[in-house]
Amino acid sequence: MAAAAPEEPKWEGGVLLFCGGTDFAQLGRTGGKTRKEDLDKESQYPNLLRPTRLKTFNDVKIMFIAAGPAACHCFAGDSEGNLYSWGRNERGQLGHGDFAQRNVPTKVAALTGHFVIGASGGKNHSAAVTRDGSAYAWGINAHGQCGTGRVSAAKAPFKEDIVLNPTRCIIENCQQVACGIDFTLWLCDGKIMAAGNGQYGVLGDGVDHSYNAKDSSIQILFEAVATPHRVAGLDDVKVLRIAAGHNHCLAYDDQGSAYSWGNGGYGRLGHKIQQDEDKPRKLEVFTRRNLVPHNAILAAGGTSSFCTGVANQVHCWGKLKVNGDNQMYPVPVNDLVGWNVRSFACGPGTFAAAADNAVITWGAATNGELGFGPNKKSSANPAKCEPLEGGHTHQVACGIGFTMFLVDPAHPRLAEAPEWVSDKPQEEPVLPEPSGAGKGGAKRKAGGEAAGAAGAAKGKKAK
* Cis amide linkage into residue 382, ω under 30° from 0: no
Q: Is 21 in contact with 399 (CB distance < 8 Å)?
A: no
Q: What is the pLDDT of residues 303-316, one digit of tens each?
A: 999 999 999 999 99
Can you name the residues that pair with 224 across neighbouring β-strands? 197
Contacts for 197 with CB less than 8 Å, ≥ 6 apart: 143, 145, 181, 182, 183, 209, 222, 224, 225, 457
Q: What is the pLDDT of residues 320-337, one digit of tens each?
A: 998 889 999 999 999 999
pLDDT for residue 446: 31
Sign of CA dihedral 230, 235, 238, 241: negative
The pLDDT confidence band at residue 454, using thresholds 50, 70 and 90, is very low
Every domain of the chain and the residues it spans: 15-444
For the chain, the average pLDDT equals 90
The pLDDT confidence band at residue 433, using thresholds 50, 70 and 90, is very low
pLDDT for residue 452: 27
Q: What is the pLDDT of residues 361-386, one digit of tens each?
A: 999 999 999 999 998 988 999 999 99
Span 184-209, average pLDDT: 98
Q: Which CATH number fits domain 15-444: 3.90.1150.10, 1.10.20.10, 2.130.10.30, 3.30.420.40?
A: 2.130.10.30
Position 241 pLDDT exceeds 90: yes
Using CA atoms, how far apart are residues 142 and 279, in angstroms rounded to an integer? Answer: 23
Q: What is the pLDDT of residues 271-301, one digit of tens each?
A: 999 999 999 999 999 998 999 999 999 999 9
Using CA atoms, how far apart are residues 104 and 439, in angstroms rounded to an integer? Answer: 28
Position 461 pLDDT exceeds 50: no
pLDDT for residue 218: 84
The pLDDT confidence band at residue 38, using thresholds 50, 70 and 90, is low
Q: Which residue, among 264, 404, 289, 272, has the nearest Cα to 347 in the 3D structure?
A: 404
pLDDT for residue 155: 83
Question: How many CA atoms, within 13 angstroms, populate the side-chain half-sphere of residue 316?
Answer: 23
The pLDDT confidence band at residue 443, using thresholds 50, 70 and 90, is very low
406: amino acid identity, one letter: L
Using CA atoms, how far apart are residues 101 and 426, in angstroms rounded to an integer? Answer: 6
Sign of CA dihedral 167, 169, 173, 176: negative
Span 153-180, average pLDDT: 94
Position 410 pLDDT exceeds 50: yes
pLDDT for residue 36: 55
Percent of the chain with pLDDT over 70: 89
Position 449 pLDDT exceeds 50: no
Q: What SS3 string covers the chain?
A: CCCCCCCCCCCCCEEEEEEECCCCCCCCCCCCCCHHHHHHHHHHCCCEEEEEEEHHHCCCCEEEEECCCCCCEEEEEECCCCEEEEECCCCCCCCCCCCCEEEEEEECHHHCCCCEEEEEECCCEEEEEECCCCEEEEEECCCCCCCCCCCCCCCCCCCCCEEEEEEECCCCCEEEEEECCCEEEEEECCEEEEEEECHHHCCCCCCCCEEECCCCCCCEEECEEEEEEECCCCCCCCEEEEEECCCEEEEEECCCCEEEEECCHHHCCCCCCCCCEEEEEECCCCCCCCCCCCCCCEEECCCEEEEECHHHCEEEEEECCCCCCEEEEEEECHHHCCCCEEEEEECCCEEEEEECCEEEEEECCCCCCCCCCCCCCCEEEEEECHHHCCCCEEEEEEECCEEEEEECCCCCCHHHCCEECCCCCEECCEECCCCCCCCCCCEECCCCCCCCCCCCCECCCCC
Q: Which residue, among 51, 44, 13, 148, has the nearest Cα to 370 in the 3D structure?
A: 51
Span 453-458, average pLDDT: 32
The pLDDT confidence band at residue 31, using thresholds 50, 70 and 90, is low
pLDDT for residue 72: 97
Using CA atoms, how far apart are residues 346 and 121, in angstroms rounded to an integer? Answer: 13
